[in-house]
Structure 1
C-alpha cells in the first residue's frame, strides 16, 4: 500500500541553481503545477470517511439490502498499481552514475594536465624579455635554427627546398 505524501520531496532551490536562465520560466510553471497538485492531495482526508451502516439499516426498509451493500463495500479492494518503474530508474541511475564518475575522473585528469601546462607556461621567461636563443631553448620545435637547420625566408615549410606537398604525396601513395 502506498503512503500519503505530506510535502514535496523536491529541493526546488537546488534545482533552480542547475536550470539555465532561459528555462527558469518553465521551471516556475512546473513548480506551480506541482504545488497545486500537492495542495489538492492535502485538501482531501488521508482515509476515506467511515460509513455509518447503522443509520442506513434503520432508514432503509428492505431487509438485507444494507447488509449486502456493506459486505460488498468492505470486500471492495481497489488495487494500488505495482511500482515497476523504480527498479528501472535505479538501474538507469547506476549506469548514469558510472558515466558521471568516468567523466569526473577524465575531467580531473584534464584539469591536472592543463594545470601542469599553466605552470610550465608561467615558468617560461616572458616573450617580451626573450632573446632568440631563449625562444629556441623554450620552443625547439618551432624556433628557427640557422646553424643546424638553415631555412630560406619567409622561413615557413612551403618555401623550403625539401618541402613536399602533403596532398600530392597522399595522391602519389594511392
Structure 2
C-alpha cells in the first residue's frame, strides 16, 4: 500500500466540527498552531549560505575533514526536510489504523448482537410479567407457583406455607435443601411439621 499524502485542513473548517464543550481546548490548539506558523514564517525559505572554503582555510589541517563532513550534513539537512514524507514510511501506521478500525467494527457488531438478544429476552420477560395476575391480587400460593425464582426469598420462619400443612404439599422452597433443616424443628405435640 502506498503512503497517503498529507492534506491541509483549515482551522475554519475544523471549528465547524468542534463541539461547544470542547471550544476551550480547540482555542488552545488554534493558538499553538498560529504561533508555530508565525515562528516558521519568520525563518528564511532557504538555509543561510556558509562559505565552507573560508572555514577549510582557517582551521588546522587535521580538522579539514570535519569541515567537509559538516558541509555534507548541512547540504543534506535542507534536502532531508523537503523529502521527509518520502523518507518516512507512514503506510505502517495506516495499516495499524485499518486493523484497529476493523477490530472496533467487529466489537460494535458483536455488542449490537448481544444487545438485541438481551432486548428480546427482556421483552419476553415483560410479556410474561404482564400476563400475570397483579401481585396485589395474588395469594401466597399463586405467587410461589408463578415466581418460583423468588420463592426462596419468602420468609418461612420454619412454618409450612400451603394448605394442607403436610410435607408433600410443601414442594416449592429454597434452592438449598439445607435451608429448611436449619429453620425447622420437629417438635412433637406442638403441631409443627418438618418439611
TM-score by length of 1: 0.51
Q: Say whether residues 1:11 and 2:17 are aligned partners.
A: yes
C-alpha displacement of 1:10: 8.1
Shift of 1:82: 3.5
Structure 1 alignment gaps of length 5 or more = 17-23, 52-71, 162-174
Residues 23-57 of structure 1: CA deviation (Å, up to 9, x unaligned): x5xx444322333355568879xxxx999xxxxxx
- What corresponds to 1:33 in structure 2? 28
Question: Higher Cα Rg: structure 1 or 2?
Answer: 2
State the match for 2:57 in structure 1. none
TM-score scaled by length of structure 2 = 0.46
Matching of residue 132 in structure 1 with residue 140 in structure 2: yes
* In structure 2, distance between residues paired with 1:35 and 1:116: 53
Q: Which residue of 2 aligns with 1:159?
A: 183
Higher relative contact order (CA 8 A, sep 6+): 2
Other structure's SS at 2:14 match: coil
Q: RMSD of the alignment, in Å?
A: 4.2
Deviation at 1:120, TM superposition (A): 1.6
Where structure 2 has 5 or more consecutive residues not aligned to the other structure, the ranges are: 47-74, 155-160, 172-178, 186-195
Aligned ranges 1:20-169 → 2 under 5 Å: 27-37=22-32, 39=34, 76=79, 78-79=82-83, 80=85, 81-83=88-90, 84-140=92-148, 142=151, 144-147=161-164, 148-150=168-170, 157=180, 158-160=182-184
